[in-house]
Amino acid sequence: MQRDDIKNSLIVSCQPVPNGPMDAAEFVIGFARAAVDAGARALRIESVAYVQAVRPVVTVPIIGIVKRDLEESPVRITPFVADAEALADAGADIVAFDATDRVRPASIEALVKAVRAKGKLTMADCSSLDDARHALAAGVDFVGTTLSGYVGGAEPVDPDLSLIAEMRLLTPYVIAEGRIRTTEQAAAAVKAGASAVVVGSAITRTEHVTSWFHEAVAKAYDASSPETVLAIDIGGTKTMAALVRGSDVLDEITVATAREAGPDAWLAAIAEKVRIWKDRYSRVGIAVTGFVQDGRWSALNPETLGIPDQYPLVERALAVFGKPAFAANDAQAAAWGEYKFGSGEGGDLVFLTISTGIGGGIVINGRPLAGLAGHFGLIRGPSQGRSPLEDQTSGRWMASEALKAGHNASAAEVFDRAEKGESWANAIVSQSAFRAATLCRDIQMMLDPERIVIGGGIGLAKGYLDQMREQLAGIDSRLRPVLAPAELGSHAGIIGIASLAVERD
């Protein structure tokens, strides 16, 4: 053959992973034939046996090599003259060998001489420009970039395009080889000046290609699969702790909040309870009743829970749990939970939780509003005098109204009695629903959200939402709020704070 026979061509290296499942003559033959069928104009084959196996089934030139792991030398590719001769005898058209400047059993000159004597061509597998220079001086026919990156140090990822370009200044017979894994890299090698391009692993090492894809897929799944968060919801009477991943609550426990003990003790008690989960979460999210700003927690209504002013909640949580922490108001967290995973459906929303008191949260343009935003229970309408709205609407108010009407009944009982048709109870429920509906109307005028999501024991009590809707029925439909029941129930806060802990960090 002539050197120009493989000019401007793709060469496929058919070298299975040693001792792997594809390391058998039948596979090497299969790869070789498939490569030729698809346009490869030469093959690179390792071992005398595989050259012998492939030779009868293809007519294209074969570059033959023998790989050996030697004690006395780092040279692996065709270290001995006898190997070079055996390859030539087996039918290789070109014999390639290590041409690096390292301790070696046979000199480059000796190898060139032996191969020439067999009437075959030589290829020098080089690691550097100096290697190529020496090899060309010794009379090799081709120089390859084969060993660039493989003579010490960390293995690079990309092909050595600049070595191709440098070698091209020495000879036109440069074969680009090593880490050419994409069609773009193959084209870049041509552009750099290669007269032929060898691709090996990316075509014929199934295990390597599979592992590249496996890693990429695993990494992409890791990036898209949410982290597991220790989510804590500290309320006036109970504290819930849960392991949350996305909208999945993997595990949960509830403990009573020891109201008098204070936040240091609450955190310590939770830490103790969740010690078994220690290795299962990477962050902590804490939803609390009250007001959180810059990681500091204060009570807006100390009667719900007494908290020292500006308690450094995030800082203490980091110290106690040893993981990055994020904190927000519980209703704001629940608003975010409903927005992301509940009835929000991705649009602007206001969340209202109507229970013992009234809390709320606002999500506008995909952003949860923090600080004071959403504390609807504490607003005072002009007709409400000095008492906040929640004191005239919430469960607490319903029970106290019942008492005034001569019935010692909890809010839940008021609902039961209203359903049975007792007019005093009906009056209380509709008065509360009327005020909540009026609040929603005002919210609509202020923020114009796509929907107002209603949660809480009262908000979701049978018939309450319908009554609110009835109260709003008379309003011009363009101004009327769309009310939707909360979907995440008592988990809205922990799901929301878990998501915030991941996204707002």
Q: Which CB atom, from 167 or from 333, has the smaller least distance to ligand LRY?
A: 167
Q: What is the rounded distance in angstroms from the CA atom of residue 138 to the CA atom of residue 136?
A: 5
Q: Choose which of 64, 200, 263, 290 interacts with ligand LRY (CB under 6 A).
A: 200
Q: Could you identify the residue written with the tokens 């220790």? A: 230
- Which of 129, 175, 133, 169 lies closest to 8 in space, CA to CA? 175
Closest approach of Cβ 175 to ligand LRY, in Å? 10
Q: Choose which of 199, 352, 428, 440 interacts with ligand LRY (CB under 6 A).
A: 199
Q: Choose which of 31, 150, 326, 341 interacts with ligand LRY (CB under 6 A).
A: 150
Going by C-beta distance under 8 Å and a sequence separation of 6 or more, which residues neighbour residue 97? 65, 77, 78, 79, 84, 108, 111, 122, 123, 124, 125
Q: Which of the stretches 111-119, 145-153, 363-371, 420-428 binds ligand LRY when contact is defined by CB under 6 A?
A: 145-153
Q: How many residues touch ligand LRY (CB under 6 A)?
A: 16
**Integer angstrom CA distances of residue 304 from 248, 261, 343, 359:** 29, 14, 28, 12
Handedness of CA 66, 67, 68, 72 (dihedral sign): positive
Q: Which CB atom, from 64 or from 459, has the smaller least distance to ligand LRY?
A: 64
Mind giving me the DSSP string for 113-131? Answer: HHHHHTT-EEEEE-SSHHH
Q: Which of the stretches 144-152, 304-312, 409-417, 454-462 binds ligand LRY when contact is defined by CB under 6 A?
A: 144-152
- Which of 67, 65, 121 lies closest to 93 in space, CA to CA? 121
Q: Which of the stretches 198-206, 282-290, 361-369, 490-498 binds ligand LRY when contact is defined by CB under 6 A?
A: 198-206
Does residue number 147 form part of the binding site for ligand LRY (CB under 6 A)?
yes
**Integer angstrom CA distances of residue 232 from 266, 276, 277, 285:** 11, 15, 13, 6
Structure tokens at 271: 């830490």
| CB closest to ligand LRY, residue no | 200
- Which DSSP symbol is given to 47? S
Q: Which of the stretches 178-186, 245-253, 389-397, 472-480 binds ligand LRY when contact is defined by CB under 6 A?
A: 178-186
Q: Choose which of 47, 146, 332, 444 interacts with ligand LRY (CB under 6 A).
A: 146
Structure tokens at 468: 């609110």
Q: Which CB atom, from 203 or from 328, has the smaller least distance to ligand LRY?
A: 203
Closest approach of Cβ 112 to ligand LRY, in Å? 18
Q: Which of the stretches 174-182, 273-281, 386-394, 445-453 binds ligand LRY when contact is defined by CB under 6 A?
A: 174-182
- Which DSSP symbol is given to 366? T
Tell me how many degrees the CA angle 321-325-330 measures, rounded to the nearest 5.
Answer: 115
Q: Which CB atom, from 147 or from 333, has the smaller least distance to ligand LRY?
A: 147
Structure tokens at 76: 């692996």
- Chain CA centroid to CA 399, Å: 49
Q: What is the rounded distance in angstroms from the CA atom of residue 489 to the CA atom of residue 10?
A: 63
Does residue number 198 form part of the binding site for ligand LRY (CB under 6 A)?
yes
Does residue number 499 form part of the binding site for ligand LRY (CB under 6 A)?
no
Does residue number 79 form part of the binding site for ligand LRY (CB under 6 A)?
no
Q: Choose which of 64, 79, 91, 178 interacts with ligand LRY (CB under 6 A).
A: 178
Q: Which CB atom, from 74 or from 312, has the smaller least distance to ligand LRY?
A: 74
Residue 463 one-letter amino acid: G
Q: Choose which of 6, 10, 11, 13 interacts with ligand LRY (CB under 6 A).
A: 13
Going by C-beta distance under 8 Å and a sequence separation of 6 or more, which residues neighbour residue 208? 17, 201, 202
Q: Choose which of 12, 28, 180, 439 interacts with ligand LRY (CB under 6 A).
A: 180
Q: Which CB atom, from 88 or from 232, has the smaller least distance to ligand LRY?
A: 88
By the criterion CB under 6 A, which residues form the site for ligand LRY?
A: 13, 15, 65, 77, 146-147, 150, 177-180, 198-202
